[in-house]
Chains A and B, each alone.
Chain A
Amino acid sequence: MVQDLRIPTIKRKDKLQIYVNGKPVTAYAGETVFSALQASHYTKFNRSKKLAAPRGALCGMGVCFGCQVSINGVKSQRSCMTDVEDRMEVEIDET
């Protein structure tokens, strides 16, 4: 298994489980959906409207809307502005 990208020296809060396209993924309380995805090496989040080209996050601070994913069935949520919750269901376009 590929190691996640969390900085090992940091003490984490509660361990949670989220689902990314139905697959269980580990996350920790206080992380955003964006950071939990990045930590587990997910970089493709959605596709652009006109060219349907794969896209990921850009600004990380809620400005660019590049990191939009579907969260618990609600589409077009900014993953960088949403904290993870246990058993959260995240849908991304990873193809």
Chain B
Amino acid sequence: MRPKDPDVLIVGSGFSGIVAANVLADHHLDVLLLDENVHVGGQILRSVPERLGTQTAAVSDGVRRAGFRFINNLQRKKVHIMNRAVALGIYPNRELLVEVEGKRVLVLRPKIVLFATGARERFLPFPGWTLPGVISTGAVQILMKSSGVLFSREILIGGAGLFLLAVAHDFQKNGGKVMAVLDETPMTNKLLLLTQLVHHFSKLTQGVGYIAHLALAGVPIRYQTRILEARGDSQLKEVITSKVDRSGSATEGKKKAHETGALAVGYGFCPNIELPQLAGCCIEYDETKGGWVVKVSDQLESTVENVFAAGEITGIAGALKSLNEGRIAALAILRRLGKISEKDSSSKFERLGRERRQHLQFGRCFNRLYSVPDEAFRQIPPETIVCRCEDVTVGDVRRAIEQGCHTPGAVKKATRIGMGPCQGRTCGPVLYGLIAAYIRRSPQEIPLLSVRSPTKPVSMSALLTCDVP
């Protein structure tokens, strides 16, 4: 039997999703909130006991508290929540295919869809990054926040950007030992950011707080330092690093070996645009927003009517922007469904719009910190695996490009890159970077890999429960 179609279906229960759900439910709309995780709250609002002592990157505690309040209100406001629900696909007229608990597949036809699918981490592969013992900075943070588990006793942290510092800080605070934080990018980038953060005082003090804490604990922070290689037979044993110059070239003769069984890496964030892309929404490239993002109007409507987008997928800028955009999207949806008049809401829109522009400005500074130069992609050795699912190497990709495959789709057909269970979510951004670097084009000239339904693996037994007329 088909469940009743909701007025509004929200995909993703992070900040944007829960805030929008709260506002919409206040106006007695029938809201269905989907999330792939077992918990509501997304990556920032993982339900941690306060005594865990972890903090979240670039979110002051007040924001987190507000977030948990929004979550608590959802039930009282009768928002329908579906956890372990995966949106597998979206078809014309907002017809969605949703897998629930790995067991059944539903078809839903809401009046409005709000995508709030968040972001994932970016990577810059190096030989040995597939070895057990090498993990993402995000996963290290999630282990601490959700389960109170340290990935290891000691850890080396590397990559690019401020999130490395947040993870290092939390790891130390929870009793682990951070050997060093190694950042690809130059320190002057950070100083530049500090000068632009005067309007974002809480973020500024938090960043400075991390650095001070790590300095006190004696954790070295090294800039312009790249992870060249991870070594070990079947488990990480040693990490080789090198200094890099401003163009992204590793400097000869300045290599260093670190003995460690644990290495966490992260190179910034990448918006989860696959579902909006499948829905036919225009996806645009904007380096200052963190790459490919959903193109939205001031009201956060995508280029497809009645499909809205909020949060990191419209530009990476952190939880405060997501919270703000959850509100804007909800107001726009209320207007569309005739629940509030344009006249009554225009001053609210103006205020929220002003706030949004400030958050976007913060994002512009922030995303600059993570930008990896083309030369860094050209320097990845050929034996390095890019696609972890299908074991496709940089050499394989390079050969395909030399044979004339100048689009990600063509390289995919030639090499099977992006054809595994993650469907190119991990290797896709790397592939775009490799092609742009090799054929010397700007990233916006490289078309995205196509997305097809089902967007994530689904079992046949679940699919067969689907009741399609």
Residues of A within 8 A of B (CB): 5-12, 30-32, 34-36, 38-39, 43-45, 48-51, 53-66, 68, 76-77, 80-83
B148 and A7 contacting across the interface, CB-CB below 8 Å: yes
Please tell me which one of the listed residues B84, B132, B389 contacts residue A56 in the complex, with CB atoms under 8 A apart.
Answer: B132
Residue B207 is within 8 A (CB to CB) of chain A in the complex: no
**Which residues of A have CB within 8 Å of B121?**
59
| A48 and B136 contact, CB distance less than 8 A | no
Q: Are B52 and A49 in contact (CB under 8 A)?
A: no
- How far apart are A84's CB and chain B's nearest CB, in angstroms? 10
B:290-342 near A, CB below 8 Å: none
Asked if B120 and A7 sit within 8 Å, CB to CB, the answer is: no
Asked if A63 and B425 sit within 8 Å, CB to CB, the answer is yes
User: Are the CB atoms of A64 and B391 closer together than 8 Å?
Assistant: no
User: Quick one: given A57-B135, A58-B135, are A76 and B149 in contact (CB under 8 Å)?
Assistant: no
CA distance A10 to B145 in the complex (A): 11
**B43 interface hit (Cβ, 8 Å):** yes
- A65 to chain B minimum Cβ distance, whole angstroms, is 4
Contact of B426 among A39, A59, A83 (CB under 8 A): A59
A65–B146 CB distance below 8 A:
no
Closest chain B residue, CB of each to CB of A3: B153
Q: A12: shortest Cβ distance to chain B, in Å?
A: 8
Question: Does B130 have its Cβ within 8 Å of any Cβ on chain A?
Answer: yes
Residue of A nearest to B47 (CB): A30
Majority-rule SS of B interface residues: loop
Residues of A within 8 A of B235 (CB): 43-44, 54
Cross-chain contact A11 with B84 (CB below 8 angstroms): no
- Verify A11–B51 contact, CB threshold 8 A: yes
Most buried by A among B149, B151, B420, B426: B149
- Contact flags (1/0) for B414-450 with A, using CB distance below 8 Å? 0000001110011000000000000000000000000
B373 within 8 A of A: no
Task: Look across to chain B and name the residue whose beta carbon is closest to the beta carbon of A83.
Answer: B38
Query: Is the beta-carbon distance between A5 and B153 smaller than 8 angstroms?
Result: yes
- Cβ of B81 to closest chain A Cβ, rounded Å: 16
Q: Are A61 and B147 in contact, CB atoms less than 8 angstroms apart?
A: no
Partner among A51, A54, A80, A82 whose Cβ is within 8 Å of the Cβ of B391: A51
Q: CB distance B52 to A35 under 8 Å? A: no
Partner of B133, one of A12, A39, A56: A56
* CB–CB B426/A61 < 8 A: no
Question: Within the assembled complex, what's the spacing in Å between the Cα atoms of A3 and B64?
Answer: 32
Q: List 11 contacting pairs A-B, 8 Å CB cutoff, sorted by A.
A: A9-B174, A9-B175, A39-B147, A54-B131, A54-B234, A56-B131, A59-B120, A59-B426, A63-B425, A65-B389, A77-B102
CA–CA, A84 to B50, complex, Å? 22
B36 and A81 contact, CB distance less than 8 A: yes
Residues of A within 8 A of B390 (CB): 49-50
Q: A63–B175 contact, CB under 8 A?
A: no
The 8 Å CB contact of A65, one of B142, B391, B422, is B422
Q: Mark B120-143, 1 if CB is under 8 A from A, else 0.
A: 110000000011111110111011
- Answer whether residue B19 sits at the interface, using C-beta atoms and an 8 A cutoff: no
Residue of A nearest to B270 (CB): A63
Contacts of A7 in B (CB 8 A): 52, 144, 148-150, 174-175
* CB neighbours of A54 from chain B (8 A): 131-132, 234-235
Given contacts A35-B147, A43-B235, A64-B422, contact A81 B37 (CB under 8 A): yes
Shortest 10 CB-CB contacts between residues of A and residues of B? A60-B139, A35-B147, A56-B132, A10-B148, A50-B391, A65-B421, A43-B132, A60-B142, A54-B234, A39-B149
Q: Which residues of B contact A80 (CB under 8 A)?
A: 139, 142
Known: A59-B426, A63-B422, A83-B38. A6 touches B149 (CB 8 A): yes
